[in-house]
Structure 1
Amino acid sequence: MAQRPDRSSEIERHAAKLEKDPQSRVFAQLADAYRKEGLLDEAIRICRDGLVAHPTYVSGRVVLGRALLEQGALEEAEGEFRRVLELAPDNLLALRLLGDTSAQQGRSGEARLHYERALRLNPLDRETQERLAALPTEATPAPAAEPASVGLEPEA
């Protein structure tokens, strides 16, 4: 059985590094450790603080987007993943998570586009393949029915 990493020591280690150098990019690792522990508010706060100093740090934006997604702030998460893709258009994780965000908002067609784009970049990405396969298929509209004749007798 695989042993679960000790997140509290991971948090302490990253927090000590960040305290020593508040301008460090280690904020993303610290925030991700908090996210994995379910401490989403703390993860979001740390990311937002760190991104003030490092607004183009892709890893920090991905962690912020993930924490927002897990918190249910879908529109904010979507905005972060779109920013990541502006900075790094081939970021597979951002594409997959943007697909997840779209799917959770009921936009399966848009989710499909994000997943397909990710699979063009990495056709062997099993997680994305599974998410794409799990999307509802687009329903084709039924042909318009002919109006039924009511069977009325013509008036005399």
Structure 2
Amino acid sequence: MSSTAFQLEERIEKCRRILDDNPRSQIFAALGEAYRKKGDLERAYLITKQGLEIHPEYGPAHVVMAKIYIEKRLYQEAEKELEQAVRLDGKTRATEKLLAEVWLKKGELDRAQETLLRLRENGPPDEGISTLLNLAKNLKERPLVNPPQRVVQPAPLLNLANRFAALEESQFDRPAPVSDEDYHSWASVLDALKSFPLVQGALVIGLDGLVVENRTSGQTNPDLIGPLCLSIVETVSQNLPRIDFGKLGQLLIETATVKIWIWSLKAHYLMLWTNPDVNLGSLKMRISHISEQIAF
């Protein structure tokens, strides 16, 4: 278990002891947040909900509940919880940032972008705000989901064998195109890697195991993957000197359903997980090219 995961378990245990001694304690919000970070959303939800029944006017608990709803993709409910937190404790930088994230997910792009720009101009550098602004920009530039339709003649049906062969040729064997783009943030790096065929998720992890940036699906919890990645790297790194294999560069883990690729960078780890049929040669070329272009 990594130090981060251990600290999280230790915090959960301390909060539980306090709550067991005093069921009316407001520590329930910290316990709910700890379970959320662990990835146990159901337990986080139940604990926070029960605590709010006793302390409905406790603003921080409404913020925790909003985060849980965001991870559950219940954005309307998340917005209501944040509005309640603002009503109780006033606007804070944290609640405004979360509201902007909710508005982005709901498609209220102008409203979200206006708030994020104001937060960026009136506060310290925040990579999370930069990531959300990039997302807002990308969503605005995305083509309409349902553009005007034009009448076309139906194409002849392609049998499954030919269709798979075409997919294999286009996605597996053909090297992905590379550009001379400079990458000025982890967000731009992960966006480029996530667009590679059959890459299912990507994240950057600090040496402490905390997630710096991620591009994951809603079913994947980056706060769990980060400590897992660090634990694997630490285990391998500690044992490599015994067999004189040198410093760790990359780790490739293959299972029946996924391939996990971990790259050791200067002060971070890059982790990708892909479909088993991904073209590893082309993907390695893409990663090597991007690593040479990183400007930070």
TM interval, shorter chain, is 0.7 to 0.9
Farther off after superposition, 91-100 or 111-120? 111-120
Offset of residue 70 of structure 1: 0.5
The residue aligned with 2:62 is 61
1:133 Cα deviation (Å)? Answer: 3.6
Instruction: Indicate how the Cα distance of structure 1 residues 32 and 124 shifts in structure 2: closer, same or farther if over 3 A, else same.
Output: same
Cα distance in 1, alignment partners of residues 79 and 121 from structure 2: 21
**Unpaired segments ≥5 residues, structure 1:** 140-156
User: Given residue 60 of structure 2, which amino acid in structure 1 is its aligned partner?
Assistant: S
Overall identity of the aligned pairs, in %: 27
Q: Is residue 65–residue 77 contact of structure 1 (8 Å, CA) maintained in 2?
A: yes
Q: Which amino acid is the alignment partner of residue 65 of structure 1?
A: A
Compared CA separation, residues 117 and 53, structure 1 to 2 (3 A): farther
Matched residues in 2 for 1:85 and 1:115: separation?
17
User: In 2, distance between residues paired with 1:63 and 1:107?
Assistant: 22
| Structure 2 residue ranges without an equivalent (≥5) | 142-296
Q: Distance in 1 between matches of 2:112 and 2:21?
A: 41
Which residue of 1 is the match for residue 3 of structure 2?
A: 3
What's the offset of the Cα at 1:99? 0.7
If asked which structure has higher relative contact order (CA below 8 Å, sep 6+), I would say: 2
Compare 88-97 and 26-35 and name the one that shifted more: 88-97
Residue 35 of structure 1 aligns to which amino acid in structure 2? R
SS at match of 1:25: coil
Preserved CA contact (<8 Å) 1:62 1:80: yes
The number of residues matched between the two structures is 138
Give the 3-state SS of the residue equivalent to 1:4 in structure 2: helix
TM-score normalised by the chain length of structure 1: 0.77
Greater strand proportion: 2
Q: Is 1:21–2:7 an aligned residue pair?
A: no
Dislocated runs of 4+, deviation >6 Å: none
Higher helix proportion, which one? 1
Change (3 A) 1:118 1:88: farther
The Cα of 1:130 is off from its aligned counterpart by: 3.4
Paired residues of 1:84 and 1:91 also in contact (CA < 8 A): no
Quick one: distance in 1 between partners of 2:129 and 2:136? 11
Aligned equivalents of 1:83 and 1:117: distance in 2? 22
Q: Residue in 2 aligned with 1:89?
A: 90
2:77 corresponds in structure 1 to 76
Listed one character per residue, the Cα deviations across residues 137-156 of structure 1 (whole Å, up to 9, x for unaligned) are: 757xxxxxxxxxxxxxxxxx
Instruction: Give the CA deviation at 1:31.
Output: 0.4
Letter in 2 for 1:84: A
Which residue does 2:247 correspond to in 1?
Answer: none
The residue that corresponds to 1:146 in the other structure is none
